[in-house]
Each structure stands twice: as C-alpha cells, then as structure tokens.
Amino acid sequence: MTLDERLIQTVPSERQIRHQQLGFYAFIHFTVNTFTDREWGDGSEPPSVFAPTRLDAEQWVKVIKSAGMKGLILTCKHHDGFCLWDTKLTDHNAMNSPCGRDIVREVSDACKKHGIAFGIYLSPWDRHSPLYGMGKAYDDYYVGQLTELLTDYGSIFSVWLDGACGESADGSGRKQYYDWERYYSVIRRLQPDACISVCGPDVRWCGNEAGHTRASEWSVVPLRTRDTEKTAERSQHEDSADFRRRINAGDEDLGSRQALENEHELIWYPAEVNTSLRPGWFWHESENDKVRSLDELFDIYLSSVGGNATFLLNVPPTNEGLIHPNDAARLAELGRLIADSFAENIAPEAEITADGNAIDCVKTDSTDEYYMSERENAEIVIKLPRKEKLGYLVIKENIRLSQRVESFAADVMEGGICREIYRGTVIGYKRIVPLGGAAADGLRIRITDSRSKPTVAFIGVYRQAER
Ligand code: FUL
C-alpha cells in the first residue's frame, strides 16, 4: 500500500466527528485555589476555605453561551484533590465545605437546560489522597471517582485527562504510575460517546497553553503522538514563565506527507487548542484587569476553529462563584464578533463550478452530499451575483473520507482578474480564510496537491461585517 493509500484510510470515529463539530467550548477551573489565590493547591487546604457566596452555575453557562461556545469542561477535581461533587469516596469535597452543594450537579444541570455539552476534568495527580502513589489502591479510587462522575451526571462529551504526575502529599516522594488503559476502558464502558482528550486516544493537545496555533494542524498523525502527553514533563510548572511558552519548533510538522513517510502506524487524532482568558487557570483578584483582548481571542478562534482544530477557552469563576463582569463582557463581545463575521453567507446565491460543472452540494453544510474531484487536484470557481466586500471564505473537506488536501490557494477575482490572497496546506474539517474586506465579484479555490481525489463538503463566502 502506498503512503497516500494508508493516509486516506485513516478516518475519524463518530465521537471524534461530533467533538470537532462543537468547535468552541469552555474550560472552568474552580476549586480551593480560587479562595487561596494559588494555581496549584498542595492538598492541605481545609474544605472550610471553599466558601463561594453567590455561586450560580447558570450564570456561568449563560456567559459561555454568549460567546458562542457549545460545551463546558469542569475541573471536578484538580491536583489538590478537593472534589466538587457529592462523592462517596472521600470526605474531602464541596458537601463538607461552607458551600455545601454538589457543583457538578448544578453545572451539568445548567448545561442541559441551556443546550451546552458537559465534560469533566478529573486530575489523576492527587495531592490530598493518602492512596496516591500506592499503585492499584489509588487506581481503584480514581476509577471509583470516574464511575461516579460518568454514571450520575448525564451524558459527557469529553473526559479531559491531564498528564501531570507529581509526588504524593506525605513528603515520601511517591509517584503514581497511572493505569491509563484501565481508565480508558471504564470511560468507554460508561460513556461510549465521550472523547478522551489529551492523555487519551481521541483528542490531541496542541502542544502549548498560550493559544499559539500551527499554520498546518493535521489530524492524521503518527500513532506514537498519542503517548507524548502521558508525562508531566511538558505541562506547565506552577508560576513559571513556561506557561506561555511557544510551540516547540521540533513539533511543528506532525502530519505532512513528508513527516509521515517513515511512520508505520497512523491515527486520526485532531488537535485541541487550550488556553485561558486570563494569565492563570484559576481566578486571582490581581488578574481582573488582565483579561485577554478581543482581537487576541478572535485571532485564536480563527486559527484554531478555522485551522482544523477545536478551541477550549478557560473561564475561571471568582471566589463569589460567578464569572467576573470583565470576563463576561469580553466573552459577550467575542460572541457578537463571531456571529457578525459569519452572519451573511453569500455562497448560496453564487454560481459555484468545478471544471465547468455546477457543484451546488457544497452550499449546504453537511457531508451527506459533497464534491469529489476526478483528479488529485481541483479548481473551483465561485461567481458572485455582484461585487462585494468579503470578510471570510470557509472551506470544509468531507473528513469521513479523511483529510486529503495537502496544499491549496485562494484567489479573489474582479472583472476577470485573479489575485492570490491565501496559500496554505491543511483544510481538514474547517479552514477559515481571512479575505480582509477585499472587493471581489468572484473567488477561485485551487487545490494544488492532494493525497487522493480531494473532497469539498462545504463552501461559505461571508460578506465583510462592520466593526
Ligand atoms: C495543567 C495543570 O497543571 C494546570 O493547572 C491546568 O489544569 C492545565 C489545563 O493543565 O496540566
């Protein structure tokens, strides 16, 4: 079998497709750290510190919804070991704090009510549990916690497994060698539709926590990529400048033909870009005026969701138990900007042809019908009914047939003259091409190299929005 044949046989699972379709979703970091002003708790915090006065999960969900996010992943337990739900496996939980409420219940209910997918983060590294570092005894505890969370709180879209693996709380220096395979089998059995992210087989960490995105984010990568996050080495160190470190240049190309040439086993393993709205993952009063700018957030959105990845944006509630007004205002602005930028799709009114034949099927955002070229390249011409100022071009491959496009270019046309405006590699699930307000009466997409006959499931052409 040739390399290209092997590449195009590597396709996503249904759960991976559903996850990719969510596009943009929230991380919520909330635990004792919110009250102690720390990023990593050491497990010695008494539950009495956990005392939100105005906790309102519905406010969180409404705020993230205003940004256009479609899901929420909650830190049910962070490294400090404090549990946000009514667990029967330890007393170290929110029910025994001044809060006295099952926060996982309230958040999952609020998500259900507002049509937001719910996911969990359950840190394997536990600095409170005396079982941590005791081998199977700790794995039993961890699996017990997973079982509670995956049984009692409705449907879960993501189980976000963090590879951080530090020492036990008692100063003995013990570490736990996580039984990942056992965790995976419990998750698959209890929530077969959930993606297991980062230290798991379904969704890949993009390689940094700063919001940097690769120009070429491939979904077909070597099998061994799956194991790279199963150690703490590459995750952040508390309070270190590493938090904002850039993508390691050595990892830049994970999936071009050249990068995969000598790889024997390939997997579909799409990237998730995770970063925080503020410098830290948890809320700190001192960061109330350090909320990321609208432009920065929108840029990350365009290059992640519009660059064949998904975008997991952390929004940390305050010690009152609410999303801070500065964060809420920024997210509402972001939601409006995204909605306005993609409000007016003029592709349905255009004449779209490939080799002179109309391909109207690409006007509908679905893989039920799609265009497939006869060759290993393609030229698609989009004639607009009139001259327009253009904001964005959106292109999607039919990823059920893998990602095939290796390189492409986009031209704007005016009065029969073509001008190249973009040249790139990956299209994959979704590529957003910024057109910068160019005035044009047409567009041309040239797929210049492909692993097999390229497919296009959707084309959108968005009128430039006022800002
Ligand atoms: C890291 C953790 O150490 C951070 O505190 C945070 O939860 C981040 C998302 O993952 O590994």
Is the shortest distance between the CB of 275 and ligand 1 below 6 Å? no
Neighbours of 246 (CB within 10 A): 9
**Beta strands per DSSP E along 115-235:** 117-122, 156-161, 195-198, 204-205, 220-222
Closest ligand 1 atom to residue 78 Cα is: 7
- Cβ atoms of residues 362 and 461 within 8 Å: no
Is the shortest distance between the CB of 243 and ligand 1 below 6 Å? no
Q: Ligand 1 centroid to 323 CA: how many Å?
A: 19
- Is the model's pLDDT at 269 over the cut of 90? yes
Closest ligand 1 atom to residue 232 Cα is: 11
Q: Ligand 1 centroid to 235 CA: how many Å?
A: 7
d(CA 63, CA 69): 9
Nearest Cα to Cα of residue 427 among 401, 390, 464: 401
Residue that wins the pLDDT comparison between 55 and 237: 55
Q: What is the mean pLDDT of residues 107-136?
A: 97
When pLDDT is cut at 50, 70 and 90, the band that residue 227 belongs to is confident
Q: What is the mean pLDDT of residues 259-268?
A: 92
Report percent pLDDT > 70 for the chain: 95
Which residues have CB under 8 Å from 256's CB, separation 6+? 216, 218, 406, 425
d(CA 278, CA 296): 12
Is the shortest distance between the CB of 162 and ligand 1 below 6 Å? yes
Closest ligand 1 atom to residue 274 Cα is: 9
Is the shortest distance between the CB of 164 and ligand 1 below 6 Å? yes
Nearest Cα to Cα of residue 28 among 121, 165, 114: 121
Cβ-in-10-Å burial (0-12, 13-18, 19+) of 179 comes to middle
Which residues have CB under 8 Å from 277's CB, separation 6+? 291, 292, 297, 313, 314, 315, 316, 327, 330, 331
- Cβ atoms of residues 103 and 57 within 8 Å: yes
**Per-residue model confidence (pLDDT) at position 6:** 95
**Per-residue model confidence (pLDDT) at position 233:** 46
**Per-residue model confidence (pLDDT) at position 236:** 46
pLDDT tens by residue, 66-111: 999 999 999 999 999 999 999 999 999 999 999 999 999 999 999 9
Is the shortest distance between the CB of 85 and ligand 1 below 6 Å? no
pLDDT tens by residue, 313-340: 999 999 999 999 999 999 999 999 999 9
What mean pLDDT, rounded, does the chain reach? Answer: 94
Q: Ligand 1 centroid to 236 CA: how many Å?
A: 7
Q: What is the mean pLDDT of residues 196-207?
A: 94
Q: Ligand 1 centroid to 73 CA: how many Å?
A: 13
Closest ligand 1 atom to residue 235 Cα is: 11
CA atoms within 13 A on the CB side of 237: 5
Can you tell me whether residue 204 is helix, strand or coil? strand
Is the shortest distance between the CB of 235 and ligand 1 below 6 Å? yes
Which residues have CB under 8 Å from 288's CB, separation 6+? 324, 326
pLDDT tens by residue, 372-396: 999 999 999 999 999 999 999 999 9
- Cβ atoms of residues 207 and 248 within 8 Å: yes
Distance in Å from the first CA to the final CA of the chain:
51
Choose one of 165, 281, 282 to mutate for the ligand 1 pocket test, by most ligand atoms within 8 angstroms of C-beta: 281
CATH of domain 3-341: 3.20.20.80
- pTM comes to 0.96
- Identify the helix (H) or strand (E) that includes residue 186: helix 180-190
Determine which residue's CA is closest to atom 6 belonging to ligand 1. Answer: 281
Q: What are the structure tokens assigned to 232, written together?
A: 């703490």
d(CA 165, CA 167): 7
Closest ligand 1 atom to residue 125 Cα is: 3
Q: Ligand 1 centroid to 77 CA: how many Å?
A: 11
**Per-residue model confidence (pLDDT) at position 168:** 86
- Cβ atoms of residues 225 and 260 within 8 Å: no
Question: Does CATH place domain 347-463 in 2.40.170.20?
Answer: no
Core vs surface per residue 181-216: b (16+ CB within 10 A) or e: eebbebbeeebeebbbbbbbbbbbbbbbbbbbbbeb
d(CA 187, CA 185): 5
Cβ-in-10-Å burial (0-12, 13-18, 19+) of 466 comes to exposed
When pLDDT is cut at 50, 70 and 90, the band that residue 228 belongs to is confident
Choose one of 235, 242, 282, 283 to mutate for the ligand 1 pocket test, by most ligand atoms within 8 angstroms of C-beta: 235
Kindly give the residue spans of alpha helices, DSSP state H, lying in 230-293: 257-260
Q: Is the dihedral of CA 62, 65, 71, 75 positive or negative?
A: negative
Q: Ligand 1 centroid to 29 CA: how many Å?
A: 9
**Per-residue model confidence (pLDDT) at position 242:** 45
Q: Ligand 1 centroid to 311 CA: how many Å?
A: 16
Choose one of 162, 237, 240, 315 to mutate for the ligand 1 pocket test, by most ligand atoms within 8 angstroms of C-beta: 162
Choose one of 236, 242, 277, 278 to mutate for the ligand 1 pocket test, by most ligand atoms within 8 angstroms of C-beta: 236
Closest ligand 1 atom to residue 314 Cα is: 9
Nearest Cα to Cα of residue 391 among 268, 278, 287, 302: 302
Is the shortest distance between the CB of 236 and ligand 1 below 6 Å? yes
When pLDDT is cut at 50, 70 and 90, the band that residue 239 belongs to is very low
Residue pointed to by tokens 């703490």: 232
Nearest Cα to Cα of residue 350 among 448, 445, 453, 467: 445
| Alpha carbon 342 to its chain's center | 20
Domain ranges in the chain?
Answer: 3-341, 347-463
**Per-residue model confidence (pLDDT) at position 230:** 63
Q: Ligand 1 centroid to 367 CA: how many Å?
A: 35
Closest ligand 1 atom to residue 160 Cα is: 9
At residue 105, what is the residue type? R
d(CA 386, CA 376): 31
Closest ligand 1 atom to residue 39 Cα is: 5
Residue that wins the pLDDT comparison between 206 and 278: 278
**Per-residue model confidence (pLDDT) at position 131:** 96
**Per-residue model confidence (pLDDT) at position 249:** 33
Is the shortest distance between the CB of 269 and ligand 1 below 6 Å? no
